[in-house]
A and B are shown apart, each in its own frame.
Chain A
């Protein structure tokens, strides 16, 4: 069984936006889509280290604010011609609260 940590209320994350969680292994971006799905990805573009949490969220993708790489929030995979991926983490919603897998504390990837 995974252990989950209560991080914040869903409404603390803007729709089609993101907020950052600091973890021992670096920053993780919590994304919220237009239809209230939540995803957790490493907040660091593999290209030049851009903060993905500051990208524009469209559908279940985010576009890196620095050079426009697009990542699938489901898989962390870069889309289109770009090659690379960011780590994804387990996150879940319970009654309007956002919970993250305790592996956040150790920085262990869920994928």
Chain B
């Protein structure tokens, strides 16, 4: 070759900057022209976050200054964009003319995604890509101003933390269920959310942006669910896509990015590309490590040396001061993979290692990332770890120390945390009593009253004793909830309350769950406990429900379902019966049966027909009978004073009113009521979960009957004089059951554990009764809704997702 080679580089980013460094370090002799659309040279984009938060200045993050470019004779065209590449004549054309090249490097990087919502072009909407964006956010982050960040990924969270550090009130809206879902699993995402919330950043997951509102500039963000967040600035950080417009116009081969081979060569042998704009082996690149590798390979290629780009594993760290988070490799489940999970709720530490056979292939660390690089090394080297697998998760420093502490959750409770809810006893008082000489459970009970009432906190009291007394204490062994945890149902319920755990990932993290996603036994239980304890905070998790509650019908042995409309108090009308008969005909219902709870059961409905039959029954004024629910099933009545010559009270009317109060409530197991108008007891009230027998002087309320696997007569709870009193007592008693029983225990099993005396004391005390009643009603204000109406409008969700039988026939 004759004369100096002419090299044109389009884009002065981190990848092309590193490539030029390598080239000059090797003593290459090129005439370099460097175009950049941004009016400046190369700076360290990764460091924009510290600039945003005020920890660094722009000057500190410049990597190549004017002096460097001058020293290497680079012709800098900053603020000047290349508009066309003339491949035939090998000339790059910009606004100020053409620059000929022997080799051309496209390093145009990436462009942020703009979500196509109304208002996206309003002043005050920015992305997070370059110094201009950063300066816009700094200007808007005055103390007290409001900022909304759309996107809870790496970039969005760094933007949020930076603006929060400058005093802005920041809300992050994230479409997915947990933050940074591409780098983190749900448990680590939960910990991160907690940390950020502690810094005053509001996080809204599962939030889809509907519109950005404002007249002349941004004023607020509206979500699909109707939530509105006020905003002086909106930052969109939902992702990036390779900037390939120039490559497209040049007719280079472009997939998602500009296609390059192992030498970073595009489909034109004189044109190369690197950085976030390229696609190599169907893969895109966003993190800096592989970009630097590309720079090295391209420099070598330009120098005529042999080099090939091989993408390597990358690790992620979130650059938010005080948040320790590390993820590397592949941490998804797949055939043959196993996981090792370590949780220390007290320190907020979570570690998860993913093994494929004998090799470590992925790691997620939160709270303690000190061993991150060690694990990362293992991943990159593909070392056989079978020999050190037992202690692998403890990192390189492990030297035979103690194993994970199952008491960690209780140990982490502060002294003022309530252990015994009945008697209001906190952890500190129990510890004081133990230190004062109460070394047995009975002694603790008599000294503090802790676990002396309903007894559900016994396990926790024992754990406090074990922590305080050390090896000198052996607890009674209660069975654990399931194989995912060492805690009993009772302990989990108490800890959900005392630690204010409001989501399934929160429970699993703080209580040290041993599996990543629980099992079919604990998930429905946790979902129920969270619904019962946090009705206004928790959102029902449909995927943690058994099939019957998820599909709002009882599944039959052949996979069909049953449909049972509600008939208040067992009373119906000719119009309702006609609608039921019509529906039965329309959907060719194979069996129509009258149930023991005075309802009509339509059996054998195909899943895909459910929304349609519900729509028909809704139209006739009927709602779901919840015949499938761990919840209020039926209130069975007799005819009472209206027609019966023996009736003493309006048992039918009372039954209807009770059912209208109680329907839709979720309970630990099913709840059935019977209301009889006289002691002849035609409604069989005395074998129900709750029964009322009317007498001349009022109403006798009895509870804890059974007529299933066990048969048991109800026990007398108390007497009421007015209907209003009956309603309040039954609501209060139901709430007591909802708050205290373990999942799947019917009322009679629960009463046998806690004692009828204790239950009676609660509902007879006017203050306690009122409070229980009010809590029940609060929950009803949210959960008393007809699931048929909710799902009937979405028939597509109930049908097969695809039908290939038709396709095969074609």
Query: Footprint of B on A, CB under 8 Å?
Result: 5, 7-8, 12-17, 19-24, 27, 30, 33-37, 48-51, 54-61, 63, 65-66, 68, 70, 74-75, 104-106
Which residues from B are CB-within-8-Å of A27? 800
Let me know if A75 and B335 touch, CB within 8 A: yes
Q: Is B808's CB within 8 Å of the partner chain A?
A: yes
Contact A105 B543 (CB under 8 A): no
Complex: A7 Cα to B800 Cα, angstroms:
11
Q: Is B518 an interface residue (CB 8 A)?
A: yes
B800 lies within 8 A of A56 (CB): no
- Contact at A70–B516, with CB atoms within 8 Å? no
Q: Mark B558-573, 1 if CB is under 8 A from A, else 0.
A: 1100000000000000
CA A69 – CA B555 in complex, angstroms? 16
Question: How long is the Cα–Cα vector from A37 to B335 in the complex, in angstroms?
Answer: 11
Most buried by A among B518, B545, B558, B800: B800
Q: Are A49 and B559 in contact (CB-based, < 8 A)?
A: yes
Chain A residues within an 8 Å CB radius of B542: 14, 17
Contacting residue for A74 out of B334, B524, B550, B551, CB 8 A:
B334
A59 touches B801 (CB 8 A): no
Q: Which residue of A lies closest to B524 (CB)?
A: A56
Contact between B543 and A23, CB atoms less than 8 A apart: no
A34, A60, A70: which contacts B520 (Cβ < 8 A)? A70
Give the complex CA separation of A27 and B766 in angstroms: 57
Contact, CB under 8 Å: A59 / B557: no
Could you list 6 A-B pairs, sorted by A, with CB under 8 Å? A14-B543, A33-B517, A34-B517, A37-B334, A104-B804, A105-B807
B333 touches A56 (CB 8 A): no
Q: Tell me how far the C-beta of A66 lies from the nearest C-beta in chain B, rounded to whole angstroms.
A: 7
CA distance A56 to B524 in the complex (A): 9
B524-545 to A contact mask, C-beta < 8 Å, 1/0: 1000000000000000001111
Query: A37-B333, A59-B516, A66-B555 in contact; A20/B546 too (CB < 8 A)?
Result: no
Are A105 and B808 in contact, with the CB atoms below 8 A? Answer: yes
For residue A6, which residue of chain B has the nearest CB? B802
Top 5 A-B pairs ranked by shortest CB distance?
A63-B520, A74-B335, A19-B801, A65-B547, A56-B520
Proximity string of chain B (784-810) to chain A, C-beta cutoff 8 Å, 1 when within and 0 when not: 000000000000000011111101100
B715 at the interface (CB under 8 A from A): no
CA distance A5 to B590 in the complex (A): 36
Q: Is the CB of A22 within 8 A of B524?
A: no
How far is it, in angstroms, between the C-alpha of A33 and the C-alpha of B335 when the chains are bound?
A: 13
Give the residue of A5, A14, A34, A59 whose beta carbon is less than 8 angstroms from that of B804.
Answer: A5
Q: Which residues does B use to contact A, with CB under 8 Å?
A: 177, 181, 185-186, 331-336, 515-520, 523-524, 542-547, 550-551, 555, 557-559, 800-805, 807-808
A56/B801 contact (C-beta < 8 A), A51-B559, A65-B547 known: no
Contacts of B807 in A (CB 8 A): 5, 105
Instruction: Give the distance to chain B from A63, nearest Cβ to Cβ, in Å.
Output: 3
A8-B801 in contact (CB<8A): yes
Among candidates B185, B517, B544, B802, residue contacting A22 with C-beta atoms closer than 8 Å: B802
**Does the CB pair B547–A58 fall under 8 Å?**
no
B64 to chain A, nearest CB (A): 36
How close is B206's CB to chain A, nearest CB, in angstroms?
Answer: 10
- Give, as a whole number of angstroms, the nearest-CB distance from A17 to chain B: 5
Partner of B515, one of A15, A30, A59, A106: A59
Q: Tell me whether A55 and B801 are in contact (CB under 8 A).
A: no
Interface residue from B181, B185, B333, B546 paired with A65 (Cβ < 8 Å): B546
Kindly identify which residue among A24, A58, A65 contacts B523, using a CB–CB cutoff of 8 Å: A58
Among B177, B519, B543, B546, chain A packs the most CB atoms within 10 A around the CB of B543
Chain B residues, Cβ within 8 Å of A16: 517, 543-544
Complex contact B547–A55 (CB within 8 A): yes
Q: Which of B185, B551, B804 contacts A23 (CB 8 A)?
A: B804
Which of B331, B517, B805 has the largest number of chain A CB atoms within 10 A? B517
When distances are taken between beta carbons in the complex, the residues of chain B under 8 Å from A48 are 557
Q: How far is the CB of A90 from chain B (nearest CB, A)?
A: 12
Most A-side CB within 10 Å, residue of B332, B333, B515: B333
CB distance from B239 to the nearest CB of A (A): 12
Question: Residues of B contacting A56 with CB < 8 Å?
Answer: 519-520, 523-524, 543-546
5 more CB-based (< 8 A) A-B contacts, given A24-B805, A105-B808: A5-B804, A15-B543, A19-B800, A22-B805, A74-B334
B519 near A63 with CB under 8 A, answer yes
Residues of chain A lying within 8 A (CB to CB) of residue B186: 34-35
Chain A residues near B558 (CB-CB < 8 A): 49
Please state if A50 and B559 are interface contacts (CB–CB under 8 Å).
yes
A57 to B185, Cβ gap below 8 A?
no
**In the assembled complex, which residues on chain B have CB atoms less than 8 Å from the CB atom of A54?**
547, 550-551, 555, 559
**Min distance, Cβ B491 to any Cβ of chain A, angstroms:** 21
Question: Which B residues touch A63, using CB under 8 A?
Answer: 519-520
Partner of A21, one of B177, B544, B547, B802: B802
Instruction: Assess the A8–B544 pair: CB atoms within 8 A.
Output: no
* Contact between A65 and B519, CB atoms less than 8 A apart: no
- A11 to nearest B CB, angstroms? 10
Chain B residue with the shortest CB-CB distance to A95 = B256
Bound-state Cα–Cα, A3 to B697, Å: 78
The answer to whether B551 touches A7, judged by C-beta atoms less than 8 angstroms apart, is no
Nearest Cβ distance between residue A100 and chain B, in whole angstroms? 8
Contact, CB under 8 Å: B800 / A65: no
CA distance A12 to B542 in the complex (A): 15
Q: Which residues from chain A contact B336 at a C-beta distance below 8 Å?
A: 74
B324 CB → nearest A CB, Å = 22
CA of A66 to CA of B186, assembled, Å: 28
A17 pairs with B543, CB closer than 8 A: yes
Q: How far is the CB of A50 from chain B (nearest CB, A)?
A: 7
Q: Which chain B residues lie closer than 8 Å to A105 at the CB level? A: 804, 807-808
From the candidates B331, B517, B544, B802, name the one contacting A59 in the complex (CB within 8 A).
B517
Complex Cα spacing A49 to B390, Å:
40
Q: How far is the CA of A13 from the CA of B543 in the complex (A)?
A: 11
CA distance in complex: A7, B804 (Å): 9
CB distance from B361 to the nearest CB of A (A): 14
On whether the beta carbons of B800 and A21 are closer than 8 Å, the reply is yes
